[in-house]
Structure 1
């Protein structure tokens, strides 16, 4: 009973330390650039490959429904709403959690069991400031950029599928894109993507710096990172969507 409470407390304590360390100097700029490039490199192609089938599946079902009621000209509105509000942020965090966050956890876990973090503390170097903060900021930034890429790629894929497979009029599809989606919805989607990336990186870093039990412990920490990140995804998605609907009603 006490272990889960202790884990939650330790997670929030590390998160608070990380947020405080963001504003401390010196900032590990080189590590931040390296981690940003690494996460983007391992996440970009899987994100683009996942976004197209997800978006096409959604627009396929929406177009069938719209066709039944004779409103296929509004298919662009459904595609934009699904892609911007849900598919973009969710596909982004799935890839970031499955590729970037697990790599972060494995790297920090290996450093922990080799006692590198203890050695840094002995030398007066804060591991949170030097290692955790750059990874958190990198994952958050990459999640924001990947969300924009998913949205653009998904909408292009929806356009070609709707026009050339389901025979929707191109002009009607393009004209209806902004019926339900505007700047407020885009901002909400970007904020959701940033929150997803932030949560995934915090969970990965916490599991990495608190790992124990040798190599087996690192493997368990990586698995737990994926599971906990997906659990956090659903909670954050529900809360952010509810708040977004209040702030940007349709």
Structure 2
């Protein structure tokens, strides 16, 4: 029974230690910006199409359900504000990091896992090269940067998609839709959305890198690590998202 609690706690401690090392290196030592740019381009390239598809599906689903309720209440003119709440505060950051973790994070885990089982990581350590500085930090920077950019894309796309759905299918006047957005979504909400995207991207990158650097069992271990990285990321993001939302509601 004790092993069930001790083993995850030990893994969490090691993961946090790696994350702290990466943050210290990011603030005090040089790292490869070229590697960070290459990783950011790769993550953005593999995440863009899934992001657009998920954004379209969520926009249609949320706006359809919300507008039906608003129509029953006679408050369709508030559809823009509701779209702002959904897209900017909740859907944007969460969908962004789920896509980044599912597309980019799995690639990061597989890449680092393959390096680990080929003993490239051990060889780097023998040569005095810090794998966290050389490999982890650029990937964390890339994941966070892409998460912030995709968050803006999804949030903007959600508002635009909600506009076309509400105006052209539900008969909401364009002015009413646009005027209701600032009623519920202002600068503080945008700031919390950015914070969420930053924290979510950081978490996804740390988990992906940690699982990749701690692979055991050959190619099967790499596959297991990829699956575990996605599952763990989603499981961690739910309580973290809830915590940030509670802080947001308390502050605002």
**TMscore range, shorter length:** over 0.9
Deviation at 1:164, TM superposition (A): 1.3
TM superposition score normalised by structure 2 = 0.96
Question: Is the 8 Å Cα contact of residues 81 and 181 (structure 1) preserved in structure 2?
Answer: yes
Deviation by residue 1:94-133 (Cα, 9 ceiling, x = unmatched): 1001001010000000000001011111111100000000
1:117–1:127: 8 Å Cα contact kept in structure 2? Answer: yes
Q: TM-score, normalised by structure 1?
A: 0.96
The alignment's C-alpha RMSD in Å is: 1.0
In structure 1, the residue matched to 2:56 is: 52
> Of 148, 168, 174, which aligns to 1:170?
174
Q: Which runs of 5+ in 2 are unaligned?
A: none
Q: Does 1:212 align with 2:216?
A: yes
Deviation at 1:5, TM superposition (A): 2.3
Q: What residue is the counterpart of 2:37 in the other structure?
A: 33
How many angstroms apart in 1 are the aligned matches of 2:188 and 2:59?
Answer: 21
Counterparts of residues 100-179 of structure 1 (less than 5 Å): 100-179=104-183
Q: Secondary structure at the match of 2:183?
A: coil
2:201 counterpart residue number: 197
Q: Secondary structure at the match of 1:178?
A: helix
Unaligned ranges ≥5, structure 1:
none
Runs of 4+ in 1 over 2 A off after TM superposition: 23-26
Q: In the alignment, which residue of structure 1 is the partner of 2:93?
A: 89
Q: Which moved more, 1:9-18 or 1:115-124?
A: 9-18
Q: Does 1:14 align with 2:46?
A: no
Deviation of 1:56 after TM superposition, in Å, equals 2.0
C-alpha distance in structure 2 between counterparts of 1:59 and 1:235, whole Å: 25
More helix by share: 2
